[in-house]
Structure 1
Amino acid sequence: MEEQDITTKIDSITPTPEQLRALTHPIRLRLLGLLRLEGSQTATDLSRTTGLSTGSTSYHLRMLAKYGFIEQDQKLSIGKKLFWRSVNTATVTNTPQQDDPDAESKLDAMYGFQQMVAAEYSRQILSASEQWQTLPLEWQNASTLSDFPIRVTANEAQEIMHRVAAILLKEMHDHPLHSNDSDETSESDTDTQAFSIQLLGFPVKIAMQSDNSLDEHSDEGKQ
């Protein structure tokens, strides 16, 4: 999504190429996502969630702080027990104009970041699908893996994506992950959970091209 379409509606960051390259790391991307979802946490908290060592989570938290994605939560930190919080709600990338002298560097950084995000989304989708049967019936019904292929021009595709994103941004505003109002329903209410809706859009042709991931002999001998 273009920067101007989102930055006025949610608290977002548009990283420089240097910042984006620093974020293009599977551990940092996941830690940042967890801080945005769960709120302030320590390196030990994140270690328990991810299964990583506290040394690893501490190092990558410092790197995220160095490049401006997170900061210490001064209200919760006590002595050596440091809590970290995300500075922004979302990361936004903006495709550079062709006449931008730094276009090549920006596109290279965006490409690496997109590959990492795609891998993380794939991990989340696979994990969610593997655990789907363990969900209560109402959450099974709320979850979906669906695609809606259409034939459009690039401009039409962009307009549709913007309209869908506008709906989701409104829902993010109406149903925030974290509420500062003590009168609101508690985030720990058993009826509510953080729920992810991933917006993906791309030309089908490039997604269906052969990448040698299919093994035509894998089902031989099976009935």
Structure 2
Amino acid sequence: MATYDDPRILRAIAHPTRNRVLHELSAAGSLRAADIAKRTGIPANQASFHLRQLAKYGLVEVAPDAGRDKRDRVWKLVDDDITLNPREIVEQPGGEAAYTVFQRSSVAWGHHLVDQAFQLPGEGEDPAKRIVSETSLRLTKDDADQLRRDLNEVVARYRDAGRRSDDDLDLYSVYQLIQPMPDLAGEHDPV
């Protein structure tokens, strides 16, 4: 697991298309720019541009062994687990602004995921494709850390199985939050 503390990396991954490229590479293991273009619906030259931007910040790299020949450029994540150190980032020049951009983008993406999860299934759509679950637990900090590790192991097992599969699989988003229960923040019960 690599921990990043460069504010420029936050700006790079705050871009929605680059963030989606990272998700595609995480799920697949390695892909060509043309594969990413097909999966995301963007032109191949844009996929190549975003891959080069991510490579500039050390997040992705060319996987020479994955190509069919020397001209076949296949990309992979440098590390499967991208961890950010926000405290160190905001203390650097430009860090607070970069963190604000990243935070806005991440919150917007989280809202989008939740909004999509709660959409009524369309005609003929399998309702089991959207699974929403919320659970409240009483935990010690150590228990919460163990829960995070356990969930990450389960997710990694499924990610690795998906990478080994030759089947045409759908891309799913698994969005986890493990945090102390937040206050209601000004919410009031309706009268």
Q: Return the TM-score normalized by structure 1.
A: 0.64
Residue-by-residue CA offset, 1:40-84 (whole Å, 9 max, x unaligned): 111111111111111111101100001100001111123433111
Instruction: Give 2:116's match in structure 1, choosing from 103, 127, 132.
Output: 127
Do the aligned partners of 1:41 and 1:85 also contact (CA within 8 Å) in 2? yes
Instruction: Find out whether 1:168 has 2:148 as its counterpart.
Output: yes
Q: Name the structure 2 match of 1:146.
A: 134
Match of 1:199 among 173, 177, 182: 177
1:173-198 superposed Cα distances (whole Å, 9 cap, x missing partner): 2452115xxxxx95457999856142
Which protein is bigger by CA-based radius of gyration?
1
In the alignment, which residue of structure 2 is the partner of 1:182?
Answer: none
Residue 75 of structure 2 corresponds to which residue in structure 1?
A: 84
Paired residue for 2:160, among 178, 193, 206? 178
User: Given the alignment of the two structures, is residue 34 of structure 1 paired with residue 24 of structure 2, yes or no?
Assistant: yes
Whether the 8 Å CA contact 1:93–1:110 is kept in 2: the answer is: no
Change (3 A) 1:15 1:32: farther
- Once structures 1 and 2 are overlaid, which stretch shifts more, 101-110 or 190-199? 190-199
Give the counterpart letter for 2:72 in structure 1: K
SS of match in other structure, 2:66 = coil
Contact persistence 1:69–1:88 (CA under 8 A): yes
Gaps of 5+ in 2: none
Name the CA distance, whole Å, in 2 between partners of 1:58 and 1:186.
Answer: 24
Cα–Cα, structure 1 residues 41 and 190, in superposed 2: closer, same or farther, change >3 Å?
A: closer
Q: TM-score, normalised by structure 2?
A: 0.72
CA RMSD, Structure 1 to Structure 2 (Å): 3.8
Residue 93 of structure 1 corresponds to: 84
Q: What secondary structure, in the 3-state scheme, does the structure 2 residue paired with 1:41 have?
A: strand
d(CA) in 1 for partners of 2:176, 2:186: 17
Q: Which 5+ residue runs of structure 1 have no aligned equivalent?
A: 1-10, 151-155, 180-184, 210-223
Pair 121,101 (structure 1): closer, same or farther in 2 beyond 3 Å: closer
C-alpha separation in 2, matches of 1:101 and 1:123: 26
String of CA shifts for 1:150-181, please: whole Å, max 9, x gaps: 9xxxxx9xx65x744531322332452115xx
Aligned residue type for 1:39: G
